[in-house]
């Protein structure tokens, strides 16, 4: 497998007046092409900071980051990275078909698989995959929060970027919608063969979605352990009822708690 992203000795220190906040330190991680990997940890452990560094939205203070053999900023400029925020960032004056097609207009190019050229039809296809085929002409304010987030995710997939970065994309949604969208996201990922780096506070969500869970610990943020999730795919709701799933969630939580204890 080709390495998609590699981080070596990555740290980020913020300066607040005279005070320095070490948000991240000594992060070494290699993410494989096509992998679903999750950054999991408590509030303030540097998950968003790490994701922003990979996205090229911020620059590390120490260490190196390579995205497809390039810098994150260059990979981002060549539209190789799609960013899906916590709440949908759709343009309010455009309908969702136009919203989802927007980046494909800017980004009319062969994707990394070398074959597909993105077009508004791709956007319609992905919107249908997330169950929004009947709402193509609706503006964001005419949709529910869950539908907006589905449209936002569809836009990310329609962009054709091989790498998707998602920072707690479901955290503002109710539990039922969240449960449905997790499975929808897995279906999209399996169909479109992206590499996904996903941030969450939820051990269940991390285990359900991921090939590997990166458990982080705070002050300063660092990787505590990377856990392989060797549960079968495709993942379904039935899986969450099994002892294997429960045991994996417990394992991930245990690592998190031991990180907290070690911190005191
Ligand atoms: N722009 C900034 N300026 C100063 N400090 C910052 C900045 N961004 C983040 N920090 C600090 O860096 C640390 C990590 O923040 P970060 O947002 O990455 O955490 P997180 O794991 O995403 O938390 P949450 O789960 O609450 O979203 C925190 O102590 C935060 O206060
Ligand atoms: Mg965050």
**Sequence-distant (≥ 6) Cβ neighbours of residue 110 within 8 angstroms:** 116, 117
- Per-residue model confidence (pLDDT) at position 112: 45
Name the pLDDT band for 108 (thresholds 50, 70, 90). Answer: very low
- Per-residue model confidence (pLDDT) at position 117: 45
How far is the centre of ligand 2, averaged over its atoms, from the C-alpha of 84 (Å)?
A: 13
Determine if ligand 1 sits within 6 Å of the CB of residue 27. no
Determine if ligand 1 sits within 6 Å of the CB of residue 12. no
The protein residue whose alpha carbon is closest to atom 4 in ligand 1 is: 14
- Per-residue model confidence (pLDDT) at position 263: 57
Phi, psi for residue 54 in degrees, rounded to 5: -65, -35
- Per-residue model confidence (pLDDT) at position 195: 96
141-186 pLDDT per residue, tens: 999 988 998 899 888 888 888 999 999 999 888 888 889 899 999 9
* Domain limits, the chain: 1-24+31-80+162-264, 90-160
Alpha-carbon span 62 to 215, nearest angstrom: 21
Q: Which whole-number Å values give the CA distances from 44 to 21, 142, 201, 221, 251, in the listed order?
A: 11, 34, 11, 8, 21
Q: Looking at domain 1-24+31-80+162-264, does it have CATH number 3.40.50.300? A: yes
User: What's the Rg (C-alpha) of the chain?
Assistant: 18
Average pLDDT over residues 97-103: 85
Q: Which whole-number Å values give the CA distances from 169 to 41, 146, 148, 151, 210, in the listed order?
A: 15, 10, 11, 12, 15
- Per-residue model confidence (pLDDT) at position 110: 42
> Which ligand 1 atom minimizes the distance to the CA of 15?
4
Cβ pair 4, 163 in contact under 8 A: yes
Determine if ligand 1 sits within 6 Å of the CB of residue 19. no
Determine if ligand 1 sits within 6 Å of the CB of residue 219. no
Cβ pair 31, 4 in contact under 8 A: yes
């Amino acid at each position: 497998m080709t390495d998609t992203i590699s981080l070596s000795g990555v740290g980020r220190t913020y300066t607040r007046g005279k005070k320095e906040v070490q948000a991240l330190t000594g992060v070494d991680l290699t993410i494989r092409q096509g992998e679903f990997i999750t950054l999991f940890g408590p509030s303030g452990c540097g998950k968003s900071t790490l994701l922003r560094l990979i996205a090229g939205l911020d620059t590390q203070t120490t260490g190196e980051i390579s995205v497809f053999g390039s810098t994150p900023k260059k990979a981002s400029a060549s539209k190789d990275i799609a960013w899906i925020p916590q709440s949908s960032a759709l343009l309010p004056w455009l309908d969702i078909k136009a919203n989802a097609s927007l980046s494909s207009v800017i980004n009319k190019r062969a994707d990394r698989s070398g074959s597909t050229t993105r077009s508004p039809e791709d956007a319609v296809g992905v919107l249908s995959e997330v169950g929004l085929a009947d709402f193509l002409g609706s503006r964001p304010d005419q949709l529910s929060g869950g539908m907006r987030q589905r449209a936002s995710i569809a836009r990310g997939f329609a962009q054709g970027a091989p790498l998707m970065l998602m920072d707690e994309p479901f955290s503002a949604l109710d539990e039922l919608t969240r449960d449905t969208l997790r499975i929808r996201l897995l279906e999209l990922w399996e169909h479109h063969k992206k590499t996904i780096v996903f941030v969450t506070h939820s051990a269940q969500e991390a285990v359900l979605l991921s090939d590997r869970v990166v458990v982080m610990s705070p002050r300063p943020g660092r990787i505590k352990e990377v856990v392989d999730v060797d549960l079968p795919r495709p993942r379904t709701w039935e899986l969450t009822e099994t002892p294997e799933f429960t045991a994996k969630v417990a394992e991930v939580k245990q690592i998190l708690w031991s990180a907290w204890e070690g911190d005191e």
